[in-house]
Amino acid sequence: MDAARKLDVLAGAARYDVSCASSGSRRPRTGRGLGAASVGGVCHSWSADGRCISLLKVLFSNHCIYDCAYCVNRASNPTPRAAFTVEELVALTLAFYRRNYIEGLFLSSGVLRSPDYTMECLIRVVERLRREERFGGYVHLKAIPGASPEQIRRAGLVADRVSVNIELPSETSLRALAPEKSKQDILGPMGLMSRSIAESLAERRKDRRAPAFAPAGQSTQLIVGASPESDRQILNLSSALYRTYGLKRVYYSAYTPVVEDPRLPRPDRPDLAREHRLYQADWLLRCYGFALDEILPADEPRLDADLDPKTAWALRHPERFPVDLDRADYETLVRVPGIGARTAARIVATRRQAAVRPEDLSRLGAVARRARHFVACGGRYLGDGSFEPARVRARLTAAARASDAVQGELPLEPL
C-alpha cells in the first residue's frame, strides 16, 4: 500500500477523535528549522485574529489488539488496515507543511503489539521531526493507556500537548465495553502528566532554559451515549478531572454507531444536541465559576434539552433577577444568560464613562434577545411585563424551537 492510500485509510480512521482542537503552546521559535507553534492553536480552529489554522490529523496505524465495542478500529471489525513507517509519516508531515497545508500534527494510533511498542513508534516520529528536521510546529500526541511512565515522560518533552482518552464515563462501562483497558491504565498517565507539567513549570520559573513538558497541557475525550451515564455523572467526572489533573479541556463526542455490537445502543443519529449542552455546561464549569450542583442539582440528572444551562440556572433562581446593568458587579453580570465574559467586562468599562442604554446590549456583544429577559436598565425591566420565570421560559423555548426549525440544529451562541 503506498503512502497516499495509507493516508486515506488512516486519516479517515482518525476522524472519530474530537479532542484535537488544542491551543496554548508557547514553544519558542529558535530562528532555525521549520514552523512555530502559535498561541492561538491548531486543528481547523480559529485564532484570535480570525485566521483558520489546521493540522494533519492521522493515525500511525489502525491495527489494534484491543476489541473495544464502540471503536471502528476494534480488532474484530473487518475494516481496511494500514500502518505508516516512521520515515513515511515524517516525510508526509514535512511535505504538507512546506505546501502550507498544515501548521502542526495530531498523532494517535491503534494499539500495535503493546502500549509501549505503540508509544515508541509515535515518539520516534515526533523526535525525528523535532531533532533531525527541526520542526517547530504544533504537535498533539495521544498517549496510549497502559504505556510506561518512561514513555509518557519522553512524549511530554517533544509534544506540545499529550493526552489520553478516558472514552467512557464510568469504570463499570469501561469493563463492559472496553475490557482490555482499565481505569488505572488511563488515570495513571493523566496523573504522571499532571505532576510532570507542574514540575516543569516550577523549574522554568527558576531557569527559562529548562525543558518544557507538554506546554499546552493535557486533554481527554468522553463518548456520550454509548453507555447509560447521565449528564450529571458525566459532568461530575469532568469536574473531578479538571480539579485533580488540571486538564485544559474535556471533549465530548456524541456516540455514532460505526460497528455492530449487542452491547451498544443503535440511535437513529448522534445526539448532537446533548453533546452541545454538555459543552455549554463544561464552559460554565471551566470559565464562569459555576459549581456542578448549580448547573445540575442532585435531583436533575439531565441537562435541559430546550434551554442552555445558564438560562436554566437563572430560571431556577428568580430571586437574583432582573440584574441592574448600572449597578451589578462583573461576577453578577457574567451569570446573566446572553452575557459572556467579554460583554460583562465591556459593560463594567462602559459604566465608567456613561450609563448603559438598552440599545447598547447588542453593541457590547450580548445576545440581546435572551439577555433582555434578565436585566434592567435605568430602573426599567427590559423584558415583557414583569420578570416571571414561567413566562420567560415559554418565550425562550418557543424562540429556540423556531430557530432549530430554521437552522436544523441548536444555534451555537454565547452563553
Q: What is the pLDDT of residues 163-205, one digit of tens each?
A: 999 999 999 999 999 999 999 999 999 999 999 999 999 999 9
Give the residue-averaged pLDDT of 294-316: 94
Q: Which of 183, 206, 227 is the last residue of a domain?
A: 227
Q: What is the CATH number of the domain that holds 55?
A: 3.20.20
Give the residue-averaged pLDDT of 96-125: 92
Residue 136 lies in a domain: yes
Residue 236 lies in a domain: no
Residues 221 and 314 both lie in one domain: no
Residues 45 and 191 both lie in one domain: yes
Find the range with the poorest average confidence among 71-85, 291-305, 335-349, 397-411.
Answer: 397-411
pLDDT above 90 coverage of the chain, percent: 71
Q: Minimal CA–CA distance to 232: which of 174, 291, 314? A: 291
Residues 99 and 207 both lie in one domain: yes
Whole-angstrom distance, CA of residue 259 vs CA of residue 388:
48
* Confidence (pTM): 0.87
Residue 160 lies in a domain: yes
Give the residue-averaged pLDDT of 134-161: 93
pLDDT digit string, tens, across residues 306-324: 999 999 999 999 999 999 9
Cell of residue 209, nine digits: 532554559
Q: Is 286 helix (H, G, I), strand (E, B) or coil?
A: helix
Q: How confident is the model at residue 101 (pLDDT cuts 50, 70, 90)?
A: confident
Predicted confidence at residue 47, as pLDDT, reads: 37
Residue 161 lies in a domain: yes
State the residue range of the domain holding 12: 3-227
User: What residues pair up with 221 in beta bridges, in sequence order?
Assistant: 251
Whole-angstrom distance, CA of residue 15 vs CA of residue 19:
10
Predicted confidence at residue 14, as pLDDT, reads: 83
Predicted confidence at residue 55, as pLDDT, reads: 80
Residues 223 and 313 both lie in one domain: no
Cell of residue 330, nine digits: 462583573
Residue 180 lies in a domain: yes
Q: Which of 192, 227, 262 is the last residue of a domain?
A: 227
Whole-angstrom distance, CA of residue 6 vs CA of residue 21:
23
* Gyration radius of the chain over CA positions: 23
- Beta strand 104-108 pairing with 138-142: parallel
Note the residue count of the chain: 415
- Residue pair 415/288 in contact (Cβ under 8 Å)? The answer is yes
Number of structural domains (the chain) is 2
Q: Which of 15-24, 52-61, 289-298, 400-409 holds the top average pLDDT?
A: 289-298
Tell whether the model's pLDDT for residue 411 goes beyond 70. Answer: no
